[in-house]
Amino acid sequence: MFEISWKRALTLVLLMASIEGCGVRAQPRVGRQEAPLALQFQILWTHDFALEQGFWGAETQEFGGPVETSNGLIVFGNRRGDIFALSKADGTIAWTVDIGEPFVSEPLVVNDTLYLGSASGLLYALDPRNGRKIWEFDTGASIEARVSVEGATLVAANALNRVYALNAKTGEFKWRKERSKVNDFTMFGHASPTLHEGVVYAGFSDGWLMAYALEDGATVWGRDLSKGNARFRDIDAAPLVVGDALFVASFAGGLYRLELATGEVVWHRELEGVGELSESDGVLYFASRDGVHATDSFYGEDNWVAPLNAFDIACGPEPGARNLYVGLKNEGLLVLDRQTGQRVALIDSGSGFSAPPLLVDNRLFLFSNDSMFYAYSVDDRPL
C-alpha cells in the first residue's frame, strides 16, 4: 500500500472549494496584462487527455511536469498512471505506456534513459525512444520527487524518509539511508536529492539536510534546518548548488545559504512555505507564502517580491532569458519580468497548473490540472 504525503492530502482538503464541475472546456486566454505585452504567446498545439480518456473532472491536480528527450520528444506521466511521449514539433503521440500507478513527479532523462518514480514506490527506467521498460525497483513508498543521476549512480528519495542509491544502468541496489519519520504534520515530506561531484545532498521531513558520499553512502556532514519547529519542518525544495554555495529551504525554517563543503550557515532568511529553487545570473527565484521572490544569491537580499493570492500554490519557477514562468494551482501560469517582477501576462487555463512548466527553445510546455497539455510559442529573447 502506497503512502501519499500530507501536502497532497491537505491541498485536496483546503482547496476543494476551487474544484470546478464538468462543463464546456474553454480555450485558455492571456489576461490581466498589467504592462505592455513584451511577450507574445501563440498556441502551437494542445492535447485534451482528460476527454480522450474519459476522466475529466474526477481529479483536481496533475503534478507530473514534462521533460525533453534527445530525440525531440516531450515526456510526462499523469495521475492515471500513463506515460506519454509527444512530438515537440506538432504534439503527435509517439508512444504511450500504461503503468497503472499514479505519477506525481517529474521524469528525468539522462544518458538516453528515462527515469520516473510512481506513487506506489516503484521506480522505472524506460527507453525514451519507445517506452520499453529497462528495469524497475521497488522503494516501498511513494516517490513524489524527481530522481537524480551522476555518473553510473541514480539516487531517489521516498515518502518514508529513505534515500536509495542504485546502479543507473541496471537498477541494482547499492546503498540506502534513512531517518526516522516524523509523527507531526509535514507539508511535503521529501525533496529531490541533489548530486554534485560525488556527494549526495538530501533533505528529510525532520528538517535535516544530510550530505552523503555517492560511492558508499558514508555521512559527510549533517545540518538541522528546522529551527526548532515542531510542525511543517520538512525540507521541500531540492538543494541547489551554485559554485561553492548550497541553497536549501525548509517549510517552516526558511531559506538558507550553506557552505557546500561543510554545511556551515552563510545566511538565513526567515520565510514560510518556500518551494522549489531556481537560479540564473546570480539571482535565486522561488515562491513562498508572501509571493514570488528574486533574491541576490550572494547577500540573500530581495531584488523584488511579486505578491500572490494568499490561497494559491505556486510551482516552478522557470527562468527564461527575459521572463520568469510560475505555475499557479488556481489562477494559471503567471509570467513576470525577471528584472523588475512586473506582471507581463497570466495564462488562464481554467484549472491552473501544479506541474512545473518547461521552457525549451522559445517553446513553453504546460500540463494543466484538468489534464490538458499545451504547447506555446513564446518570444523570450533578451531585450
Tell me the per-residue pLDDT of 111-143, one tens digit each, with 9 for 90 and over. 999 999 999 999 999 999 999 999 999 999 999
Integer Cα distance of 252 and 236 in angstroms: 10
Confidence of residue 300 (pLDDT cuts 50, 70, 90): very high
Percent of the chain scoring above 70 in pLDDT: 83
Integer Cα distance of 181 and 262 in angstroms: 25
Place of cell 543507473: 168
Strand order in the sheet with 108-110: 108-110, 113-117, 122-126, 133-138
- Average confidence (pLDDT) over 191-210: 95
Rounded to whole angstroms, what are the CA distances from 22 to 19, 56, 351? 10, 7, 12
Integer Cα distance of 355 and 332 in angstroms: 11
Burial classification of residue 55, based on how many CB atoms lie within 10 Å of its CB (0-12 exposed, 13-18 middle, 19 or more buried)? middle
Amino acid 251: pLDDT: 82
Question: In terms of DSSP bridges, do strands 133-138 and 122-126 run parallel, antiparallel, or are they unpaired?
Answer: antiparallel
- Average confidence (pLDDT) over 298-317: 92
Task: Tell me if 191 sits within 8 A of 159, measured CB to CB.
Answer: no
Confidence of residue 351 (pLDDT cuts 50, 70, 90): confident
User: Which residues lie closer than 8 Å to 9 by C-beta, 6 or more apart?
Assistant: none
User: 3-class SS at 260?
Assistant: coil
Amino acid 296: pLDDT: 98
Amino acid 29: pLDDT: 53
Among residues 279, 285, 367, which one has the least CA distance to residue 329?
A: 367
Among residues 374, 241, 381, which one has the least CA distance to residue 320?
A: 381
Which of the two residues, 228 and 31, has the higher pLDDT score? 228
Amino acid 226: pLDDT: 83
Note the pLDDT tens digit of each residue in 57-92.
Answer: 444 689 889 999 999 999 999 998 999 999 999 999
Task: Tell me if 115 sits within 8 A of 107, measured CB to CB.
Answer: yes
User: 3-class SS at 119?
Assistant: coil
Integer Cα distance of 249 and 235 in angstroms: 6
Percent of the chain scoring above 90 in pLDDT: 67
**What cell was used for 374?**
499545451
- Average confidence (pLDDT) over 314-323: 92
